[in-house]
Structure formats: C-alpha cells, structure tokens
Structure 1
Amino acid sequence: MPIGFQINPRASKIDPSLLEAFRGIPAPIVSDNMSRMFGGGADLRPRHRGGSMLGVALTVRARPGDNLMAHKAIDMAEPGDVIVIDAGGDLTNAIFGEIMMRLAIKRGAAGVVVDGAIRDCDVIAAGDFPVYSKGITHRGPYKDGPGEINVTVTVGGQTVTPGDIIIGDMDGMLAIPRHAAVQVAASAREQLRREVEILASIDNGTVDRTWVDEILRAKGLVV
C-alpha cells in the first residue's frame, strides 16, 4: 500500500433508534449536554439555506488542497452517511462544490462537513442539503492524493471517529461519540423538556427569575 493512502472498512452499523433519539433536538442543547468539552466545529459554518443534519460519520483525511479521497468517499457513501472531511483547515483550494454535492445527494448522504474550503456557494446556499465548511474560495482542488477513509479525523477542533453521530443546524455542527450517545440523548431530551416549560412560563407570565439576584447576592453584590 502506498504511503498516505488508506481505505478502511466501514464502522459497524448503528442502531437506528439511537440515531433517531437525536432527531429534533437543537444542536445547542446537545452541546450543552456534552460538558462543553468538545470543539463542536465552532468555525465550521452552515452554507446551505436551512434545516438540520443527522447522520453517521464517514470520515476522510485529505491532503490540504486535494479532494481525490473525498470523491472516493462519496462513491462509498450509503444513505444516512455524513461525509466528514479533514482537509487541515486549509482555505487555499475548494475541496467540495456543486458537482460533488449532486453526487452526494444521489448517494443518499445526510450532509457534508469540510474542515477547509468549498465553492459554488450560491448553489449550495439555495438548497437544503446540509453543507458545513470553514471557508469559501473559487480556486479548485488537486486530485492526486494522498488521503485516508474511515480513520479518526479532526474537524473544527473536534475529534471525529468513523461511526460517530453527526448533527447540525444553523447554529453549527458537532459529533457525538457513539459510546456516549445514549447518555447524551437522554440528558438532551430532558433539557429540551425543561426549556419548553420555561418558554411556556415566559408566555403565561409565571417565569421565575429570582435565581439571577440570588447569584449576584452570593457574589457580594447588593441588589
């Protein structure tokens, strides 16, 4: 095998019910229940028109400026995959664009994340297929490699392992390690329930805001 080229087997299938446990939960609420210890792709911004992303990570490590293995990953993609591309954060060359998006949609992918640049952003911005990237440039990529598929990568400061659950909305994207998914989903669901109650109390005038002054008094401030 040539140095720098590697295609590993896919991660084991995930229980569909575990994936569905995250559907409808906003990314900020999921993030709140991951102890604020995960990068969560803070500099990876949504480039599509709107809507959410939910799927399983198919990972790519690409040489900065080169998208050969990203193309191979698209050809390997199965319905529900989120193609997560670690391009080293380089913004010199676009790793993903309209043609690749059309191919990914045809394969049934659930979204694409690029720690690097994309192009054809006007087309991507007009659609609902989830695309997240660090930046945008008109300059095209090389197609020489090397690169690796189904390896642990880093995007937006967060480590992503093949088979992790990937979610996203207009606030950003993040990865949930598979081993923590049950706990994160349960606690996020509970927070979502509490926030729905808070919003209802604001609307009906019963919201309790005493906690703000209690914290200030505990810090020695007279209020």
Structure 2
Amino acid sequence: MSAAGHAPASLLWAHGWGFDAHCWDAVRALLPARWQALQQACADAGYLGAAPVPIRPAAVPYVAIGHSHGVQQLLQAGLADCVGLVSVSGFPRFAAAEDWPAGTPARLLARMRMQFDRQPLAVWRDFRSRCGVPWRGTDAPTLALPALADGLRALAEDDAREALAQWRGPLCAISAEDDAIVPPALAHAAFGDRLVSVPEGAHALPLTRPDLCARHICRFLDTLAVAP
C-alpha cells in the first residue's frame, strides 16, 4: 500500500545503465541541508567495478528518485511506503512493442547487445558520448561485463508500464528535448502531460544539469512536505 501523502523521511536513488551511484553526487550536494539530512540510500548496479548495492526501499515514507533505467527498476522493486516518484530521463519500458511504438526498435537493441559482446568498452564509451558525458578518464574504467550485459537484456525485455499506471502518488518527471537515448516521443509516451521538458542537457541530466535536477527535486520535496 502506498504511503503517498506523507512527508518523506528517506530518499532512495537509482542510476541508469552504464553509470553508477556517483551520477547523483552533484545533485545531492546541491540539495538544501534539510533534505540532505534525511536517510539516504543509493543503489549501485556495480557496472563500474563497485560492489553492487541493490534497490532496498526503506520501511519509512520515502521518495524514489531514478535516472533512466533506474526509474524502471524502482517501479519493478515496488513502491510500498513511497510518497513520491521522481523520474529524470526515465521510462517504464525502453524497447518498442506493438502497443509501445515510441520505444527503441528491437533491432537497434539487438545490434547494441551483439556489439557489446564483441567490444564492450567501445559500446560503453559510445553510449556515454550519446548521453552527453564522454568518458574523460585517462585510464579505461573497470567494467563489470556480466552486470552490464544483464542490464542490456533488461532494457530489451523488461516492462514496468503496469506499475507506473497503478502509481497514484505524486510524480515529478523531467526529460531533455535533446535526449538521444530517451527522445521526446518516448518521454511523452511514458508520462504524458505530467512531463516537464527542458530544452537541453542530453540524457545524463544528473551530470550535465545537476542544478536543474536539484531545483526540481527540491521543489517536489517541498510540495510533499506541506501536503495535507
């Protein structure tokens, strides 16, 4: 049962494919102290070598905040005790289907998965560039290939639209109009008139526009705090 309507006591953060929990660092640092003081839980899929931290919703009223595939994962984890959902460049389903034409065509995902099997680092680097945040490190990152491959499988197969349709609590959805990964058609198919579109920032808004993300999240949290 959802706890929507209560002030949050915890924030649960989830990142997208190819990233890690650090993608939220700048956003979290920009939140006012009153929100930083809440319990914080940052899931990490372990894509970049860190020990995996699964999504574990707190047993207190919490706000779920996801980027990209992280939104789908939060929906799949269930939203019991969740009082608000934030989607940044997110979606409930990524792959196209007969009843989901705005999704990414299956042939493109199949090609990406095949290329990843052959050249995982090149695929990951290309993906980061398309997200608007090319890898600037002098050393190649430590990629957890099984975890990344399973993430690609989930992007091609998983569907959390029913979970999103059943969500009746407060929602904040943000997406950039120049997002090459989740283009406007997919974002609008997911969230309709609840979506807030921003002109630019590409797919990795937590990294390219942490100020914007923090501002929208703070405004959302403030609204929840004063809700009857």
- Structure index of larger Rg: 1
Q: Which has the higher strand share?
A: 1
Q: Which has the higher helix share?
A: 2
Relative to the length of structure 1, the TM-score reads 0.30
Relative to the length of structure 2, the TM-score reads 0.29
